[in-house]
Structure 1
C-alpha cells in the first residue's frame, strides 16, 4: 500500500488510536511499510497514525542512540513506569516538517510493555534519548504532538513558523 506522512494541522493526527487485536500479515506488512517510510524520510521513529492508520503501533530506530540501524516495532505499547526528567531538548517530527521546539517534560527512564511481532509480551527498559523517542511516538497514539508539549514562548515561535511557511 502507498502511504504518505500526514502533516500538521491534519485533524487525523489528533485522534486516539485503537489497540491491535491480532498481529496478522496485514499488520506485519504495515510495520514493514512504516520502516521503509521512516528510513526514506530520515526519521528515527514513526507511529501508525502519522500515515493515517489509527492502530497502536510504533517503530523506533536505534540510530537514535548512535547504534547501527535496528528497527524496534512495538504493538500496543504502554509506559508502565518512569523515572526522572530528561534535560530540555529540541524535538522535531516527520508530521511537523522543518520545525524543532524545546520540550522539557520527557522522562529519562521508562519501562514499556508491548507486543513484539510474534505476539509475545515484552517489558523493556529504555533510557536517555531512545526513551524520549519512544515517548514521542506513544504520544502520537494518543493524538498528542510534540508541539502540544512546548512552552508558551516556543508556541509563539511555532505560530510564526506556520505563518512564514504557508
Structure 2
C-alpha cells in the first residue's frame, strides 16, 4: 500500500537513465488526441525514454506546466507535470512523470481558465477539483505514488490525465460561451 507522497519524494528527472529528446507537439484535430491511451509498463525502456522526452519537450515549451504522451503523438497513459514557478501554484511537487495515473479522490470543484499546447489558439473555462488525490506509477522503477495536491497543480494533473483518456479541455467546457480566443502578447 502506498502512503501520501510515497515514491515521489526525492524523485527527479535525473532518476531516468536516458537523456530526453524534444519531440514535436501535435495539435487538434489529430486523432491521437481523441483516443484513450492504453496502460503501460512503466519499467519498459520505451516508456522510460518517453518519460525523458516528455520532460525535455516540456522544458523547451514556454509556459508549459504539463505534457501528456498523446500530445507528442503517442497513445499511452504517461504524462509529465511541473508547476514550479507558476504564479498560480501554491502546492508544488516539482517535476515528475506518472504512468497509468488515476484520480482516487476529487473535491472542492472550481471553474478556471485553461489553455493547451495542442489547442494553441483557444482557452476555456473548465470546472475541476481543486483538491485531488492521484495514484500512479513512476517510470523506470514502477514504484507506486499517491499524490495529494490542490489548486493549480491539481488542475494541471486533471488536464494531463484527461489527455491520456482522449479528452481535451474543450470536451470539459460548459459550452461555446466558455471558449475564448487566446490572447497574443508581443
Query: Structure 2-normalised TM-score?
Result: 0.76
Match among 77, 84, 96 for residue 108 of structure 2: 84
Question: Is there any run of 5+ residues in structure 1 with no aligned partner, and where?
Answer: 162-166
Judged with a 3 Å threshold, the aligned counterparts in structure 2 of structure 1 residues 92 and 78 are, in CA distance, closer, same or farther, namely same
Equivalent in the alignment of 2:44: 24
Corresponding pairs, count: 157
In the alignment, is the contact (CA less than 8 A) between 1:58 and 1:75 conserved in 2?
A: yes
In the alignment, is the contact (CA less than 8 A) between 2:91 and 2:150 conserved in 1?
A: no
Equivalent in the alignment of 1:58: 79
Does 2:137 align with 1:115? yes
Which contiguous aligned blocks of 4+ residues in structure 1 show a shift greater than 6 angstroms? 66-69
Judged with a 3 Å threshold, the aligned counterparts in structure 2 of structure 1 residues 3 and 116 are, in CA distance, closer, same or farther, namely same
Flag the structure with more relative contact order, 1 or 2, with Cα contacts below 8 A and sequence separation at least 6.
Answer: 2
Match among 89, 98, 112 for residue 74 of structure 1: 98
In the alignment, is the contact (CA less than 8 A) between 2:90 and 2:152 conserved in 1?
A: no
* Whole-Å separation in 1 of the counterparts to 2:22 and 2:82: 21
In the alignment, is the contact (CA less than 8 A) between 1:6 and 1:52 conserved in 2?
A: yes
Judged with a 3 Å threshold, the aligned counterparts in structure 2 of structure 1 residues 110 and 50 are, in CA distance, closer, same or farther, namely same
* Whole-Å separation in 2 of the counterparts to 1:2 and 1:123: 28
2:166 is paired with a residue whose SS is: coil
In the alignment, is the contact (CA less than 8 A) between 1:35 and 1:59 conserved in 2?
A: yes
Query: Structure 1-normalised TM-score?
Result: 0.85
Judged with a 3 Å threshold, the aligned counterparts in structure 2 of structure 1 residues 67 and 37 are, in CA distance, closer, same or farther, namely farther
Judged with a 3 Å threshold, the aligned counterparts in structure 2 of structure 1 residues 44 and 125 are, in CA distance, closer, same or farther, namely same
Q: Provide Cα deviations, 1:64-92, integer angstroms capped at 9, x if missing partner.
A: 42688931110110011111112x22100
Higher helix share: 1
Instruction: Give how far 1:25 is off.
Output: 2.5
Match among 121, 126, 151 for residue 174 of structure 2: 151
Cα RMSD after superposing both structures: 2.2
Judged with a 3 Å threshold, the aligned counterparts in structure 2 of structure 1 residues 36 and 22 are, in CA distance, closer, same or farther, namely closer
In the alignment, is the contact (CA less than 8 A) between 2:91 and 2:153 conserved in 1?
A: no
* Whole-Å separation in 1 of the counterparts to 2:29 and 2:41: 29
